Amino acid sequence: MFESLTDRLAQVFQRLRGKGLLTQADVDQGLREIREVLLGADVHPEVARELLERVRARAVGEKLVESLSPAQQLLAIVRQEMTSVMGKEAKKLKLSGRPALVVLVGPAGGGKTTTAGKIAYYLGKRGRTPFVISADPERPAAGEQLQTLAQKLGIPCFPADRDPLAQVPQILAQAKKSLLDVAILDTPGTPPGMPPPSFLPDLFRLVPPSDTLLVLDALVGQEAIRMGQAFLPLGLTGLVLTKLDGDARGGAALSLPSRLRLPILFVGVGERPEDLEPFDPGRMADRILGLGDLSGLAEKLQEAGVSARAEKILREEAFTLEDFLGQLEAVRHAGPLGQLLARLPGRARPEEEEVEQEFEKMKAIIQSMTVEERRNPHIIGASRKRRIARGSGTTVQDVNRLLAEYEQAKKLLKGLKRGKIPGGKFPFSR
Ligand code: GDP
Ligand code: MG
């Protein structure tokens, strides 16, 4: 997700970090570079300008905190402003009414039908009893696609393709008498830039939706703004941004919320039903800035059933190198390793194989330590490092790097526990 944006921003901050003290000229130069990177990632020029304007004002106005380097502080400000440009806080579906009516609208090919299945799956996992409705009078095949998807997921599907204005209200009235509590309505796509199907405003008068989500393909970048504007008259409540697993450049995620004045509720990260993530602006900013996404990571671990261990690590005061190894091991078994490790700080784009080798190396290093060293890493001085490097067939630099990563993970976990990492809410409190 946004690899090239992340890599390029990391380079800018790397250069700034190398400078130690920052002069006004350094900050200006840094902001100019960030602007270039954002525009290169197809962020709307106005959004980039406003974002950096606010960063500049704060970078000049705010007092320096002694414990942070100037580059770190600039990074923190960029992170906060980037978060706020994407909407500050995570927003949820309203799901009001019974059944709550969630409608998906958007240009053809954006991912509406796929997202209907994903949202149904998502809600089903959270104790709801969703069902889907297809309403495409023009294209019967569209209804079949939804039907097939629903069948696979074991979710009821009702066609309303013949006459949506008559059928949808009927279906909803029927559902009222059943246990089904969320209706997800899939609607016909229109060619990009064209107005939405004309029956929708009439339908919404008959059965007012609880949530009307505009589904847009992130790969089209800031062009999605223009596509989305055509749907605003429908009274939208939020956005779903799909295909963030592809090589989306970041333009859509950073530009849409402020340009369309709508929150992103979910992002699509693949074609499978489970490839849907609730959108959290703070977390997304962390990912874009390569700050890792430990709370997202913890959630993935939880889904993969390895949460007990992660939870223990997060709850306990002590976080030893043994725990660190355990955490790495857990991550390794939790799914595509590269994808998960990409969420750890400072690991923007690992290749799967590289990650595997790196993991083996880290494991060897930790295993070459004495139990005492693993529990009290601060006792590891130069001669112990040499011994450990020899024992694990690595170098002292490798040992240093592992210790640095361990320290970083420890700091992050501590921060998470105290809720100190901005936006990084404690992942197991729900
Ligand atoms: P619709 O025309 O808006 O209903 O779009 P569809 O749901 O039919 O999706 C169009 C194509 O995009 C399909 O091939 C989907 O599998 C694919 N797609 C949808 N969402 C995602 C996503 O988040 N990631 C990826 N990689 N593909 C997606
Ligand atoms: Mg469709």
Q: Determine which helix (DSSP H) or strand (DSSP E) holds 55, and give its type and residue range.
A: helix 45-61
Over residues 11-25, the pLDDT tens digits come to 898 888 777 677 788
Residues 349, 315, 304, 113, CA torsion sign: negative
Cβ(223) – ligand 1 distance below 6 Å: no
CA gap 26, 54 in Å, rounded: 17
**3-85 CATH:** 1.20.120.140
Tokens of 368: 């070459």
CA gap 216, 128 in Å, rounded: 25
CA gap 383, 110 in Å, rounded: 58
In degrees to the nearest 10, what's the CA dihedral of 351, 357, 359, 361?
-140
Cβ(80) – ligand 1 distance below 6 Å: no
Secondary structure of residue 212 in the 3-state scheme = strand
Over residues 212-244, the pLDDT tens digits come to 999 999 998 888 999 999 999 999 999 999 999
User: Would you give per-residue pLDDT tens digits along the chain (430 residues)?
Assistant: 788 898 889 889 888 877 767 778 888 889 999 999 999 999 999 999 999 999 988 887 666 555 567 777 888 889 889 999 999 889 999 999 999 999 999 999 999 999 999 999 999 999 999 999 999 988 878 889 999 999 999 999 999 999 999 999 999 999 999 989 999 999 998 887 788 999 999 999 999 999 999 999 999 888 899 999 999 999 999 999 999 987 778 889 999 999 999 999 999 999 999 999 999 998 889 888 877 655 555 555 555 544 444 455 555 546 778 777 777 776 665 544 455 555 555 554 455 566 677 778 888 999 899 988 988 888 999 999 999 999 999 999 999 988 988 887 777 666 555 544 333 322 222 2
Q: 296-417 is classed in which CATH architecture?
A: Orthogonal Bundle (1.10)
CA gap 179, 158 in Å, rounded: 15
For residue 95, is it left (φ>0), alpha (ψ between -120 and 50) or beta? left
| Ranges of CATH 1.10.260.30 domains, the chain | 296-417
| Ranges of CATH 1.20.120.140 domains, the chain | 3-85
Cβ(112) – ligand 1 distance below 6 Å: yes
**100-291 CATH:** 3.40.50.300
Cβ(109) – ligand 1 distance below 6 Å: yes
Ligand with smallest separation from the Cα of 241: 1
Q: Ligand 1: which of 115, 185, 187, 271 to mutate, most ligand atoms within 8 Å of CB?
A: 271
Check if the beta carbon of residue 155 is closer than 8 Å to that of residue 134. Answer: no
Residues 237, 242, 245, 251, CA torsion sign: negative
Q: Determine which helix (DSSP H) or strand (DSSP E) holds 276, and give its type and residue range.
A: strand 276-278
Q: Quick one: which of 190, 63, 97 has its CA closest to 136?
A: 190
Q: What is the pLDDT of residue 70?
A: 76
Cβ(40) – ligand 1 distance below 6 Å: no
| Ranges of CATH 3.40.50.300 domains, the chain | 100-291
Cβ(187) – ligand 1 distance below 6 Å: no
CA gap 335, 64 in Å, rounded: 41
Q: Ligand 1: which of 114, 146, 247, 266 to mutate, most ligand atoms within 8 Å of CB?
A: 114
> Half-sphere exposure of residue 422, counting CA atoms within 13 Å on the CB side?
19
